[in-house]
Structure 1
Amino acid sequence: MIADGRETRITARRGVVLACGGFSHDVARIAKAYPHVRRGGEHVSPVPSGNTGDGARMAERVGGRVDIRYPQPAAWMPVSRVPLKGGKYGVFPHLLDRYKPGVIGVTRAGVRFTNESNSYHDVGAAMIEACRDEKETSMWLICDHATIRKYGLGFAKPAPMPLSAHLKSGYLVKGRTLEELARRTGINATALEETVREYNRDALQGKDTAFGRGTTSFNRYLGDPAHKPNPCVAPIGDGPYYALKVVMGDLGTFDGIATNPHGQVLKDNEPIPGLYAVGNDRASIMDGNYPGAGVTLGPIMTFGYLTGLHLAGRIDTQAQSKELRSAA
């Protein structure tokens, strides 16, 4: 390593553990791994900017394997780019607004494509699929004036906080009518107006026959419990209307370094002596699925513990192998 301008060699007695946070900001690798980036789309991740795949590259240099094999190589997170001073942007994860009654998400074609109140990963996967024939993977969140003042939208906060700065920066787009909103955003106006009519027809009774929004406890727990009969569904009322562009981000990679259960990095399916990988650096046990919140943290803690035991010499792998062979 380089420290204070000098090269320094550090010798590890028990082993080296790769814990570099995965490759969410490795531009070259996500261009191969992420389907929407492969087709030329944008990806903006809110994870630490230092997660650039250093661990994966170091493992590969000594024969480790970093396959791109999962159908969903990362935990998807729909995000918006928040304009900051000096031409910079912040990244806002859309964790709450999608669940609120009176907010819908549409593609540039002006149509809904999923249950907006599903998990961020599922909504992200649906975005990628809905835009598979487009260069850009994005959706627009749409709502009326009463809704945005009650709940906010993305980084824009509810009343009494003003919306003027977000409108001036272009973060929010406003239109007196849906047709005007569509023209200003590039959304298909005819389709958007028809989508809102169809959505409102059900929403007046608190229903979403198209996608079943608000029919699960997961949907409802981030809705508005005071809104009856469905905490996730309300009609889109009178203008003015607001739109917010959402693009793809992630909360960490699922694909990663191939290891055994103890975290030893594998080369030709055999452990590389003294080299381990933990956290988002190693391939997820979930195979690219996202069954619930904490799906990265649970395995990270569990397998990190097993790796620690192995490094400390408290796991006898030879004895375990004998037990497995005997059981077979």
Structure 2
Amino acid sequence: MNDTLHPLHQRISTDLSQFKDHDTVDLVVIGSGGAGFSAALNAAIDGARVLLVERMAHVGGTTALSAATTWVPGTKRGLEVNPDDTPERVATFLNLAVGERSDAKLRQAFIDNGPHAVAKLEANSALQFQVRMLHPDYLSELEGSVLRGRAIEPQPFDGKLLGPNLPLVRNPIPEFTVLGGMMVDRDDIFHLLRLTETWKSFSYSVRIIVRHFLDKLLHPRSTRLVMGNAMIARMLYSYIQRQGILVTNTEATQLLQNGNAIQGVALQQTLPDGSVVKRTVRSKGGVVMASGGFNRHPTRRADMLPGAKEAWCPAGPGHTGKAQDLALLAGGQLGTGGLSNAFWAPVSTRQRADGSTAVFPHFVMDRGKPGMLTVDSQGQRYLNESTSYHLFGIAMQAHHATTPSVPSWLVCDAGALKRYGIGMVRPGGKGLAPFLADGYLKQGNTLTELAQQLNVPADKLKATVERFNAFADKGVDEDFQRGTTDYQRANGDATWHGPNPCLGALREGPFYAVALYPGDIGAATGLVTDGDARVLNAQGQAIEGLYACGNDMHSIMGGIYPAPGITIGPGVTFGYLAAKHAVARAHHIGS
């Protein structure tokens, strides 16, 4: 399929008025992130007439903004780099990581069906994956973990193939791009940072930079798509090829329910001129909820994420939970028992020139590198900075209950800032003036001066750094064991001259800091389902024709984040399972 791509010359209609009232389809999918697209595209591959409903103007949700790492153990590509992995080993790992926090039967359904979901999409669509030789499970200290093969990611995509449909794809977070909109992935960053060091990196960098500036001349946006943009673009491309139907700026206002069965949905679309189109659409197979979860719900957020401001959330803007409300009205239930209701990452924020707020997740590029440490309001360390971003966010909130640590401060010296950057500040140590001017970046020629900028006790900050420096020199973090697992060391600096790739002393002034907040990157609590992604009611019975996947579905990880891509991987898998069951249901009703 990947070798037969041809440009799409016609723009897909996104107008709800293309439907007559009470028109019938085989399946309705609410939400166009990775999970929703998986359900819609899998159903379309099976020959179903599918309506994909997106409440925003752009498709992609949080998936489009993400790296789109997809944790699916046992795929063909994954086993090529790690042939020793087995389903039993995956189950052992998840049982130890998650335990009783989620239903083991659902985890097994994921393990059993994930490889089939990926294989079907790769065989029948433009969605193609690649795998890295080093991409460890986060809880690499647990039995059953691996260093490679379970995390796959989409191959880059030429957005020009979408033709006039390219603007439908949600733009990436601007702060994750360079040169005014050029998307970069891990390979690009590697070569760009070594542009002047090797011919290979120079030629690679020149090639992507020249293409980017040609795009700026000829297209409304950069057309070399990577990571989440590539995943969504590839799925959109194939969905259009399969004659899938898409409406944007449209939300579900009611589920059509007959007893314990969902038979369709009422939709409302707001057009650019402000007029409103309303349609009722019947669905033989039912409705799949894949709207992204509750993170921006007006009341549920406050109940489930107390103290976490929505302004710290870097997830997609469409995750209002309104579609989830409809499922609850239909008898669905929210899951319980998870470690947390959300998945977390430390984030920093900055106001953009247009007045909007940039929310930057600190995943792996800075906080676990040599020459970096994190302190609370008292200038003291309280966590392992190299831990996973989810555990980092949880630790911030737990510590805040006793010592104010929201915000915390990510502190580095001049050498670390130059080598790695810090947050939105790029590596190289240049262009600091605007970040200093608006207060995003704090600077002090000495630690005492920096402490004054941060309003933390100078003596405690100096003592913290001195103690940390001694650990860095020895390569052993006696307080928090930083750099002791394979995952942590993989995210350190392999070229570092010290004994621990995660530890380096802070000695070179000036010293810098950025404020960190706990940002929710996705919902962990969602609708309870069975192994076919059918939503269950309070009695544990399936509501016929109602499905949930992605962050609308209660996470099979129980609020734990054991590995990279554990939201998108299950999302793709249960989207596949929902489509499979719903299409069979549509055929049964149709016959």
TM-score, scaled relative to structure 2: 0.51
2:369 is the counterpart of 1:100: yes
2:282 is the counterpart of 1:11: yes
Quote the offset at 1:134 in angstroms: 5.8
SS of the equivalent of 1:275 reads: strand
Alignment of 1:45-194 (within 5 A): 45-67=313-335, 69-95=337-363, 96-133=365-402, 137-159=406-428, 161-194=430-463
Q: Is the 8 A contact 1:33 1:68 kept in 2?
A: no
Q: In 2 relative to 1, CA 133–67 (structure 1 residues): closer, same or farther, beyond 3 Å?
A: farther
Q: In 2 relative to 1, CA 231–175 (structure 1 residues): closer, same or farther, beyond 3 Å?
A: same
The answer to which structure, 1 or 2, has the higher relative contact order (CA under 8 A, 6+ apart) is: 1
Q: In 2 relative to 1, CA 98–19 (structure 1 residues): closer, same or farther, beyond 3 Å?
A: same
Q: Is the 8 A contact 2:293 2:551 kept in 1?
A: yes
Q: In 2 relative to 1, CA 42–240 (structure 1 residues): closer, same or farther, beyond 3 Å?
A: farther
Equivalent position of 2:521 in the other structure: 251
Equivalent position of 1:320 in the other structure: none
Question: Hey, what's the Cα distance between the residues in 2 that align with 1:226 and 1:2?
Answer: 55
Q: In 2 relative to 1, CA 42–131 (structure 1 residues): closer, same or farther, beyond 3 Å?
A: farther
Q: Which moved more, 1:147-156 or 1:303-312?
A: 303-312
Equivalent position of 2:561 in the other structure: 290
Q: In 2 relative to 1, CA 134–32 (structure 1 residues): closer, same or farther, beyond 3 Å?
A: farther
Compute the RMSD of aligned alpha carbons.
1.9
SS of the equivalent of 1:313 reads: helix
Quote the offset at 1:147 in angstroms: 1.6
Quote the offset at 1:29 in angstroms: 1.4
Question: Hey, what's the Cα distance between the residues in 2 that align with 1:190 and 1:62?
Answer: 59
Equivalent position of 1:306 in the other structure: 577
Question: Hey, what's the Cα distance between the residues in 2 that align with 1:199 and 1:166?
Answer: 27
Question: Hey, what's the Cα distance between the residues in 1 that align with 2:389 and 2:359?
Answer: 15
Q: Is the 8 A contact 2:442 2:450 kept in 1?
A: yes
SS of the equivalent of 1:11 reads: strand
Question: Hey, what's the Cα distance between the residues in 2 that align with 1:181 and 1:250?
Answer: 28
Quick one: which amino acid aligns to residue 191 of structure 1?
K
Question: Hey, what's the Cα distance between the residues in 2 that align with 1:97 and 1:109?
Answer: 22
Q: Which moved more, 1:253-262 or 1:179-188?
A: 179-188
Deviation per CA, 1:56-77: give whole Å up to 9, x if none.
Answer: 2111122211245422111111
Question: Hey, what's the Cα distance between the residues in 2 that align with 1:172 and 1:94?
Answer: 14
Q: In 2 relative to 1, CA 185–160 (structure 1 residues): closer, same or farther, beyond 3 Å?
A: closer
Quote the offset at 1:79 in angstroms: 0.7
Q: In 2 relative to 1, CA 27–230 (structure 1 residues): closer, same or farther, beyond 3 Å?
A: farther
Deviation per CA, 1:20-57: give whole Å up to 9, x if none.
Answer: 011222242121112443xxx67511111111112221
Q: Is the 8 A contact 2:414 2:429 kept in 1?
A: no
Question: Hey, what's the Cα distance between the residues in 1 that align with 2:397 and 2:385?
Answer: 14
Quote the offset at 1:153 in angstroms: 0.6
Quick one: which amino acid aligns to residue 561 of structure 2?
Y
SS of the equivalent of 1:310 reads: helix
Aligned residues: percent identity?
39
Q: Is the 8 A contact 2:296 2:310 kept in 1?
A: no
SS of the equivalent of 1:87 reads: coil
Q: In 2 relative to 1, CA 34–68 (structure 1 residues): closer, same or farther, beyond 3 Å?
A: farther
Q: In 2 relative to 1, CA 134–295 (structure 1 residues): closer, same or farther, beyond 3 Å?
A: same
Question: Hey, what's the Cα distance between the residues in 2 that align with 1:127 and 1:223?
Answer: 21
Question: Hey, what's the Cα distance between the residues in 2 that align with 1:185 and 1:27?
Answer: 33
Alignment of 1:175-324 (within 5 A): 175-227=444-496, 228-268=498-538, 269-313=540-584
Which one has a larger percent helix, Structure 1 or Structure 2?
2
Q: Is the 8 A contact 2:293 2:321 kept in 1?
A: yes
Question: Hey, what's the Cα distance between the residues in 2 that align with 1:32 and 1:189?
Answer: 37
Q: Which moved more, 1:81-90 or 1:172-181?
A: 81-90
Q: Which moved more, 1:269-278 or 1:3-12?
A: 3-12
Quote the offset at 1:305 in angstroms: 1.8
**How many matched pairs?**
312
Deviation per CA, 1:296-315: give whole Å up to 9, x if none.
Answer: 1222122222212211228x
TM-score, scaled relative to structure 1: 0.89
Question: Hey, what's the Cα distance between the residues in 2 that align with 1:177 and 1:161?
Answer: 19
Quote the offset at 1:161 in angstroms: 3.1
Runs of 4+ in structure 1 displaced over 6 angstroms?
A: none
Quick one: which amino acid aligns to residue 44 of structure 1?
W
Equivalent position of 1:324 in the other structure: none
Question: Hey, what's the Cα distance between the residues in 2 that align with 1:122 and 1:179?
Answer: 30
Quick one: which amino acid aligns to residue 265 of structure 1?
V
2:268 is the counterpart of 1:2: yes
